[in-house]
Amino acid sequence: MTMMKPAADDTAMDIEAPVAALFPDALERRRIDDRLTQALARASERVTNGPVTPDFDVEAFARELAGYDFAFARDLDEALDWSIRVLEHGVTHMTNPRYFGLFNPAPAFPAQCADRIVATFNPQLAAWPTSPAAVEIEAHVIRAVARRAGLPDGAAGHFTSGGSEANGTALVLALTRAEPRFASEGARGFAGQPVLYVSTDSHLAWLKMAHVSGIGRAAVRLIATDGIGRMDVARLEAALAEDRAAGRVPVMIAATAGTTNAGMIDPLRALAAVAAREGLWLHVDAAWAGAMIASERLGRHLDGLDLADSITIDAHKWLATTMGCGMLLARDPALLKQAFHVATTYMPSPGLDRDPFVTSLLWSRRFMGLRLFLNLAAAGWQGYARHVERAVDLSGLVAAGIAAKGWSVPNASPCGVICMAPPEGRAPPTLIVRRMLAEGAAWVSLARFEGREVVRACVTHGRTEADDVAVLVARLEAASEAVS
Ligand SMILES: *Cc1c(COP(=O)(O)O)cnc(C)c1O
């Protein structure tokens, strides 16, 4: 079907031409696009072979930035070159294979392709009728991940901005199920202060989520770990009894599968038993380690994940999408509708269950899920299994290499986070990490494991090789000697 443009009407007003700086014609777009593609490829190569930490001249940058006062228009080519240059010199490079970092990935290529496609069509995913193909692709991926995580048929969920939003959503679901009056009265609807239980080594985004949900930060009970970095079940039971005796209302246990500091997994099956006995919501925050569902070998460490009421997995962590791709999976999707429903006259449908705007926190939504769809399509679960297994194997090399230098590795993470303590008599981890970051050959961070300061490393880049691990081990030992 071809549509004809209506003929120009003599009476029409003279309308100015489109703003070419914002909406250049097709030929100019093509020229800039090609140039950008080349420039980005060259920058990526420099980043791969260069330092991991920024060599950032803050003052020069601030002057240049102030020059962008928007009083007049600048050349786009020039602004693009400037943007690439300042990112190359002004950020830590997660795309460098010697970034042994926090849970930030180098994005996989299919996901980067997805970003381009989504930026071109810019679909609105608030409601199904507007973008049925995109809404269905997301729902399909979420169902596939939920099944892989062991949740029953009928489980659903949605993509989120990240793990924090997913965890916050889980908290709202737990509160909504625990107290029917929560929907209309908020925390006041509870007979006493609602409380949730996480370990002291959980991700403290929980405090923010308790704050915004209206139950208050004091609602978060931090349960001590068991000496090896996992929530202590006996202490949890003691805290529960104490809270009930004081008239507080336990609502949720949020287990962590893959702690940020040490990659430890709370005892999921034991926590599920406590939750079942006490009538509590069980959430599993598997933002990083949830990716191990891809692998049979590693997935067994997530034993008990299938018992969760809800699960957080971030695709922008170990599943290697670009940033801003979390997932919330829920065993009973009816609760999502209960928590997020709203009726409008102007939306294209009366709030069907398949409309994301009535089953999640966001309204206007970016097509977040195409990145995980294309990664999964191109690699299959098998490809992802190899991706996570090789990362854990490389982490094993880190542990073995550093142990051979006389360091100790106090944690035993099944998901490849290595905590390292230098030999007796050497300078403390703070100084070693500072030296490493100043050098920039490899990136590591400072962490605490069971009260002890450690150097932390995790393989987060899909193209890291044994050679890169050798550089890390050699530089760590040299840095430790140099500052001691
Ligand atoms: C990263 C992380 C979070 C926070 O997720 P964001 O995507 O950064 O919002 C929460 N919990 C765990 C265990 C994480 O690793």
DSSP string, 253-288: EEEEBS-TTT--B--HHHHHHHHHHHT-EEEEE-TT
Question: Which of 202, 212, 265, 285 should be mutated for ligand 1, with most atoms under 8 A from CB?
Answer: 285
pLDDT value of position 225: 98
Distance (Å) from CA 255 to ligand 1 centroid:
13
Alpha-carbon distance of 241 to 224, in angstroms, equals 16
Alpha-carbon distance of 216 to 210, in angstroms, equals 5
Distance (Å) from CA 287 to ligand 1 centroid:
5
Alpha-carbon distance of 342 to 374, in angstroms, equals 32
Each residue's pLDDT tens digit, 25-44: 999 999 999 999 999 999 99
Alpha-carbon distance of 163 to 353, in angstroms, equals 23
pLDDT value of position 173: 98
Each residue's pLDDT tens digit, 264-299: 999 999 999 999 999 999 999 999 999 999 999 999
Query: Is 384 close to ligand 1, i.e. is its CB under 6 Å away?
Result: no
Q: What is the DSSP string of 48-108?
A: HHS-SS----HHHHHHHHHH--SSS---HHHHHHHHHHHHHHHS--TTSTTB--SS-PPPP
Alpha-carbon distance of 368 to 115, in angstroms, equals 9
Neighbouring residues of 266: CB distance < 8 A, sequence distance ≥ 6 = 199, 230, 231, 255, 256, 257
Does position 348 have pLDDT exceeding 80, yes or no? no
Burial readout 445-474 (b: 16 or more C-beta within 10 A, e: otherwise): bbbebbeeebbbbbbbbbebeeebbeebbe
Label residue 132 by pLDDT band (50, 70, 90). Answer: very high
Does position 217 have pLDDT exceeding 90, yes or no? yes
pLDDT value of position 143: 98
pLDDT value of position 164: 97
Label residue 347 by pLDDT band (50, 70, 90). Answer: confident
Structure tokens at 240: 């529960």
Query: Is 266 close to ligand 1, i.e. is its CB under 6 Å away?
Result: no
Question: Which of 165, 209, 231, 312 should be mutated for ligand 1, with most atoms under 8 A from CB?
Answer: 312
Does position 8 have pLDDT exceeding 90, yes or no? no
Which atom number of ligand 1 is nearest to the Cα of residue 167? 10
What's the number of CA atoms in the CB half-sphere (13 Å) around residue 225? 21
First to last CA, the chain: 75
Structure tokens at 197: 């239980």
Query: Is 168 close to ligand 1, i.e. is its CB under 6 Å away?
Result: no
Does position 188 have pLDDT exceeding 80, yes or no? yes
Each residue's pLDDT tens digit, 57-71: 999 999 999 999 999
Which of 180 and 12 is assigned the larger pLDDT?
Answer: 180
Does position 1 have pLDDT exceeding 60, yes or no? no
What integer best gives the mean pLDDT of the chain? 95
* Mean pLDDT, rounded, for 253-258: 98
Laid out side by side, the sheet with 452-458 consists of 417-420, 452-458, 445-449
* Mean pLDDT, rounded, for 295-323: 98
Distance (Å) from CA 50 to ligand 1 centroid:
28
Query: Is 257 close to ligand 1, i.e. is its CB under 6 Å away?
Result: no
Query: Is 263 close to ligand 1, i.e. is its CB under 6 Å away?
Result: no
Each residue's pLDDT tens digit, 401-432: 999 999 999 999 999 999 999 999 999 999 99
* Mean pLDDT, rounded, for 373-386: 98
Query: CA 327 → CA 139, 195, 395, 431, distances in Å?
Result: 11, 24, 26, 37
Does position 146 have pLDDT exceeding 60, yes or no? yes
Residue 119 phi/psi, 5-degree rounding, is -65, -25
pLDDT value of position 2: 57
Neighbouring residues of 28: CB distance < 8 A, sequence distance ≥ 6 = 20
Label residue 13 by pLDDT band (50, 70, 90). Answer: confident
- Note whether 284 and 268 are within 8 A (CB): yes
Structure tokens at 347: 């939306």
